Structure 1
């Protein structure tokens, strides 16, 4: 009878392992890494690193200045990672700055709209009202730098909402993991991270 119980335990344990969500293998590799941005909003605490401090509430957010020809924010992960997904936690009160953001990855600092694009541009109404507070883009690439970029003019529904090209968000998670041992692998298996 003990053998049957052990066999049953092994079967149940194996089933649990097989149904574990794939994303559980990834971690936020941007946490407390070095970040920079194109400009800072006057009279606001100037810290691009607010977007990688781990705080997804509205208490620490980054802001670029308004009415710029383009604007960017970039995090240096410190080394190359397999980047599965980028998750953006937007401010909930200035939704119009969400529209038109594009996510890029690269192995060298870009700070512009080049590099490997991660999914589609974040688009919606000009006032951003139809873009979720938490938005993600899938990358599935190798990179060291993640850049958020926009040159889209947006306008909100209030008199103070016109800021042209600007970005603000409270947190960016870069979900990834260390590269597999076989570095020359064109793209590792997402579940096992093996070639």
Structure 2
């Protein structure tokens, strides 16, 4: 809910794309609660949601329109759901009622989830599409199971397998160092303190040649499946309008063995920490964060990589 939505066409103001993610599963179109595409032949009718970031997508529930979900001229079935253009699941026949809970063939990591009607020219009526992602500390098909106490509150949101910060205490490097308080090891010491002067943040040198992108990296000491990463910025303001995380961390790119994991363009509006996920699981050993703001020094107070050794 509260994301960006779009669809192939819009039949009327009552059939707008946001209706399929407003939290109301009523199947009454006249109540302004379903989407409705324009009846145009030889067109693939679709609806999609931009989640605003990369998420693990697996459990999806679809709600059809009352009296239109299972008749011979169904305005929903058969359909295919994709995640960033990759097939999640194809559903060929209607369920026993308007609600149909489906799962991807495997956990898929992506941002844009689309439902396509498989029959060309068939209008689409969809009254709700729900993507269930468990909050931190819970897992399972209905997100009702708590992570094991041995997981320290962090586990895979689908399987429940424990994850740990595999970057902590590992060998770290950076392009340059401003002072002994800004050593590379400070971003993987297990301390998320944001005060640079307390010796728990990194700081690259100010006298690097212009045109250079400042970077920091950690050698995990072995090959890991990298997907979930949390970045902690330096606390405080650089000016009346700027903050250290706006000016000395964002925008950044994270790579794993030189393969792109994720790119973050803007900082969060509040708070120093940002949890990000790779567009897909990336296997590798060396994880690097590169500041895209050319010539700007890099401040980073903790970099956490959650995974298990292969």
TM-score by length of 1: 0.64
User: Which residue is equivalent to 1:65?
Assistant: 205
Alpha-carbon distance in structure 2 between the residues aligned to 1:178 and 1:129? 30
Match of 1:135 among 266, 274, 277: 274
User: Which residue is equivalent to 1:34?
Assistant: 171
Task: Kindly state the Cα deviation for residue 171 of structure 1 after the two structures are TM-superposed.
Answer: 0.6
Greater RCO between the two (CA within 8 Å, min separation 6)? 1
Alpha-carbon distance in structure 1 between the residues aligned to 2:296 and 2:201? 17
Superposition pairs for residues 20-169 of structure 1, below 5 Å? 20=146, 22-23=156-157, 25-41=162-178, 43-58=179-194, 59=198, 60-66=200-206, 68=208, 69-93=212-236, 94-95=244-245, 96-106=247-257, 115-119=258-262, 121-124=263-266, 130=269, 132-139=271-278, 140-153=281-294, 164-169=295-300
State the secondary structure of the residue aligned to 1:50: helix
Equivalenced residue count is: 143
Structure having the higher helix fraction is: 1
Match of 1:19 among 139, 145, 151: 145
Larger radius of gyration: 2
Query: Contact 1:99 / 1:131 at 8 angstroms: preserved in 2?
Result: no
Is structure 2 residue 310 aligned with structure 1 residue 174? no
Alpha-carbon distance in structure 2 between the residues aligned to 1:141 and 1:15? 24
Alpha-carbon distance in structure 1 between the residues aligned to 2:141 and 2:229? 29
State the secondary structure of the residue aligned to 1:45: helix
Question: Cα gap change, 1:142/1:131 in structure 2, threshold over 3 Å: closer, same or farther?
Answer: farther
- Give the gaps of 5 or more residues in structure 1: 1-13, 107-114, 154-163, 180-195
Once the two structures are superposed, residues 91-140 of structure 1 have per-residue CA deviations (whole angstroms, 9 ceiling, x without a partner) of 1212321222111111xxxxxxxx22122x2222xxx5737411122132
Task: Kindly state the Cα deviation for residue 150 of structure 1 after the two structures are TM-superposed.
Answer: 1.9
Once the two structures are superposed, residues 52-89 of structure 1 have per-residue CA deviations (whole angstroms, 9 ceiling, x without a partner) of 10001123101112364211101000110111212111
- Give the gaps of 5 or more residues in structure 2: 1-139, 148-155, 237-243
* Root mean square deviation of aligned Cα: 2.7
State the secondary structure of the residue aligned to 1:178: coil
Once the two structures are superposed, residues 132-159 of structure 1 have per-residue CA deviations (whole angstroms, 9 ceiling, x without a partner) of 4111221321110100012314xxxxxx
